[in-house]
Structure 1
Amino acid sequence: MTSLPDCDTLALDQQGTALHLTLNRPDARNAMSLAMVREMAAVFEAIADDAAIRCVVLRGAGGHFCAGGDIRDMAAARSQQASGGADPFRDLNRAFGRLIETVNTASQVVIAVLEGAVMGGGFGLACVSDLALARDTAKFAMPETSLGIIPAQIAPFVVERIGLTQARRLALLGLKVNGHEACRLGLVHSVLDSDDALTSALDDAIASLIRCAPQATAATKALLHRVGHEPMPSLLDDAAQQFADAVRGEEGAEGTMAFMQKRPPAWAKTDDTP
């Protein structure tokens, strides 16, 4: 089992194959400080090659997911002078961008459980989740322009998630939308009307994930990320080779055998599987 880093701003709880990562600054509505960015990056780095962790569940403590960036960190950066090619504002902003990239390309399935404020950087994290489940009371916004700044690191991921037309509307007007509108836009996949329903939806998602082969899931996620970034013929050529390797591989053999024997494959077995 991977040794997880000690964290002051995150609460970590591994339950079977799922790592529950909770943003844990409830007094600040889980605003994303530089310390939180660094700790989250360290967690994803630690589990990068851990096949025992199949998914990461992101959520926030105290009824909010994340209210955006930490104003105190921005104030501290303002007091520093840019020198020798270093710029405290740029470096602070880019550190979060690197985290978003890391979460986006993680081999694990990332599930975002979205409640309360989902703003700024929290909005960006939602956009790089593989599955987003939201309470109907959640509030989503890109408020940066109303504060005189720009959504520099999250904007490209918002465009990838919901398209340029809707990203323009939300970013340029600083609009706030509820869970149902977020679902209509394609930002989230499901909207639940109670905490119990949200928990049930999360449990169902993890149960579905466990039925899928871990290596095949990771390879599929990586393949999907390549679409639109390289020529289609070469992408399909490489995908065909990956398919052949998968069929001949351990998971392919086990999946085929399990299907023929009408039993769950080895990766889908849990403590209560007969």
Structure 2
Amino acid sequence: MSEMQELVLLEIDTRGVATVTLNRPHIHNAFNDDVVRRLGAIWADLAGRGDVRVVVLRGAGKSFSAGGDLDWMRKSGQATPEQNRASTLNMARMLKSLNDLPQAVLALVQGNCMAGGTGLASGADIVVATRAAQFALTEVRLGLTPATISPYVVAAMGARQARRYFLTGERFGAEEACRIGLVHEVVADETALETRGAELVAALLQGAPGAIRDSKVLIGRVANRGVDDEIMEFTARNIADRRASAEGQEGLAAFFEKRKPNWAT
């Protein structure tokens, strides 16, 4: 395994579950340009793989991710404006690639989930956190802004909550993160996190891969939109295509025949 591969681990099991693990536990999985490039390459690979159905995103050690490596960000101040923009654009592209994955993405969060780490979690479809997990968007305290992560964090917690937490930089716990929509579920500890993660993966594997992909596209199109002719046409076409698809026909047949559909494990 190369040094780059060791920064973020990728394992794919026989069920088609890809586990992506941030692997810098000695610095709470803070990321730098190399980590961003590695994540971007993983998302690009997974997006094109028909054999991968679920993606689990997690952090090794005590924390999910403390966000950007502070030494890396300090050194970026010595880079040229062009180098700085290239670095931040790579981050923006990596986050969009995560957000746009056709597979269901489950983030399992323990310990610190700060700044860019919160951005990564916000790009997942489902987030489960331990009760002791801590979140924060601390950029303003460093004279920065949570710019590249903002589309995903605001989509998760809403603009009103973002106006508080982007501006104060204060820490908040998992229960508060759940209350404001950043987290879906809170569990007691890391043992419970493993158990609940396995349960959710099993539930996701009951869904048809193409239907999950199209459901994610559907959410992206209708979120924060009024119902107009374009939306009605899109949603009608979405379900019409699904009904006529091989998955749709198999799913309906399996229901009436009282059996599992061919994609269910």
TM-score by length of 2: 0.94
Question: Equivalences for 1:240-251 in 2 at 5 Å?
Answer: 240-251=236-247
1:230 to partner: Cα distance: 8.2
Alignment partners' CA distance in 1, 2:207 and 2:238: 17
Alignment partners' CA distance in 1, 2:110 and 2:249: 41
Alignment partners' CA distance in 2, 1:89 and 1:230: 38
In structure 2, the partner of 1:24 is: 23
In structure 1, the partner of 2:137 is: 142
Three-state SS of the structure 1 residue aligned to 2:19 is: strand
The runs of 5 or more residues in structure 2 that have no matched partner are none
In structure 1, the partner of 2:153 is: 158
1:8 to partner: Cα distance: 2.7
Question: Equivalences for 1:105-124 in 2 at 5 Å?
Answer: 105-124=100-119
In structure 2, the partner of 1:272 is: none
Alignment partners' CA distance in 1, 2:65 and 2:191: 21
1:89 to partner: Cα distance: 2.4
In structure 1, the partner of 2:235 is: 239
In structure 2, the partner of 1:173 is: 168
Question: Equivalences for 1:221-240 in 2 at 5 Å?
Answer: 221-227=216-222, 228=224, 232-240=228-236
Q: Matched residues, percent identical?
A: 36
The answer to which of 154-163 and 224-233 deviates more is 224-233
Task: Give the counterpart of 1:252 among 241, 244, 248.
Answer: 248
Contact 1:74 1:89 in 2 (8 A): no
Alignment partners' CA distance in 2, 1:201 and 1:90: 39
Task: Give the counterpart of 2:202 among 189, 198, 207.
Answer: 207
1:229 to partner: Cα distance: 5.9
Three-state SS of the structure 1 residue aligned to 2:263 is: helix
1:231 to partner: Cα distance: 6.5
1:223 to partner: Cα distance: 1.0
Aligned residue-pair number: 261
The answer to which of 170-179 and 94-103 deviates more is 94-103
In structure 1, the partner of 2:10 is: 12
Three-state SS of the structure 2 residue aligned to 1:56 is: strand
Letter of the structure 2 residue corresponding to residue 44 of structure 1 = W
Q: For 1:107-156, what per-residue CA distance to the aligned partner results, in whole angstroms no more than 9, with x for missing partners?
A: 01111000111001101111111000000111000000011111111122
Contact 2:54 2:205 in 1 (8 A): no
Alignment partners' CA distance in 1, 2:28 and 2:182: 21
Alignment partners' CA distance in 1, 2:53 and 2:85: 34
In structure 2, the partner of 1:43 is: 42
Alignment partners' CA distance in 2, 1:138 and 1:37: 23
Deviating runs (4+, > 4 A) in structure 1? none
Residue 90 of structure 2 is aligned to residue 92 of structure 1:
no
Residue 192 of structure 2 is aligned to residue 194 of structure 1:
no
Cα gap change, 1:37 to 1:195, in 2 (>3 Å): same
Alignment partners' CA distance in 2, 1:93 and 1:233: 37
The runs of 5 or more residues in structure 1 that have no matched partner are 1-5, 270-274
In structure 2, the partner of 1:67 is: 66
